[in-house]
Amino acid sequence: MNVKIYLDFTPLFPPCIGGIKGGDIQYFVDTVKKYQFKLETLLKYRRLSEDKLRQELLLKIQKLRECESQLSLMKSEKQRTAEEFTHVQLDGINGASLSLYKNYLNNLIEQVEKQEVKTMNSKKETEEMRKEYLEARKKLESVEKLKEKDFQRYLKKMRVSEQKVLDEVATNQYNAKNGN
C-alpha cells in the first residue's frame, strides 16, 4: 500500500495575506540548502585510508598466524625427533644412523630458530601496522566528529530559519484577522 502525501501551502497562506504567500513558502523550501560538509573530501580520503590500513593489518595478522602455526609444527617435529633420537640412542644405533639423526635434529633446530626470527619480525610488522591503523582510525573519528558537530549546527540554523518563517506567517495571519 503506497500512500502519497501532497502538501499544498496555498490554503494556509491565501494571497490576501500580506508578506508570505503560498509561492513564498515554495521559494523558502527551494532555497533551503542541502547539507554539505565542507571537509567531505578529507572525510572520504580518511575513510579510504583507514579501510586500506585495516585490510593491510588483516593480512599482517593472517601472516603472523601462519608463522606461529608453522613454528608450532616445527617445534613439535623437533620435540618428536629429539625424543625419538633419545630412544634410539638408548636402544643402541650404528654410527651412520646416529650421524643422520644428529644432522636432522641440528637442521630442525636451525629451522626452528629461523622461524622464530621470522615470527618475531612478523609480530613487529603487525604491531607497527596496528599502530598505523589506530592512528588512521583516530584521524577518521576526529573528522567524523567534526561532521556531526557541523551537521548539528546546520540543523539548528534550519530550525531558526523555519521558526522565523512560521513567526512571520503567524504575524501575517494575526494582522489579516485584525485588519492591520
Domain count along the chain = 2
**Same-domain status, 27 and 108:** no
**Same-domain status, 44 and 113:** yes
**Same-domain status, 77 and 23:** no
| 176 part of a folded domain | no
Is this prediction's pTM over 0.95?
Answer: no
Q: What is the pLDDT of residues 66-107, one digit of tens each?
A: 999 999 999 999 999 888 888 877 777 777 888 888 899 999
| 151 part of a folded domain | yes
> DSSP string spanning the chain?
---------TTTS-TTSSS--HHHHHHHHHHSPPP--TTHHHHHHHHHHHHHHHHHHHHHHHHHHHHHHHHHHHHHHHHHHHHHHHHHHHH---HHHHHHHHHHHHHHHHHHHHHHHHHHHHHHHHHHHHHHHHHHHHHHHHHHHHHHHHHHHHHHHHHHHHHHHHHHHHHHHHHHHHT-
pLDDT at residue 28 in the model: 56
**Same-domain status, 12 and 90:** no
Query: Regarding predicted confidence, which is higher, 116 or 95?
Result: 116
| 62 part of a folded domain | yes
**Same-domain status, 48 and 103:** yes
**Same-domain status, 22 and 111:** no
**Same-domain status, 67 and 149:** yes
pLDDT at residue 34 in the model: 84
| 99 part of a folded domain | yes
Q: What is the pLDDT of residues 15-51, one digit of tens each?
A: 444 444 555 555 555 556 788 899 999 999 999 999 9
pLDDT at residue 1 in the model: 42
| 134 part of a folded domain | yes
| 49 part of a folded domain | yes
**Same-domain status, 16 and 71:** no
**Same-domain status, 61 and 110:** yes
**Same-domain status, 50 and 113:** yes
| 107 part of a folded domain | yes
**What is the extent of the structural domain holding 27?**
1-31
**Same-domain status, 52 and 26:** no
**Position 144 pLDDT exceeds 60:** yes
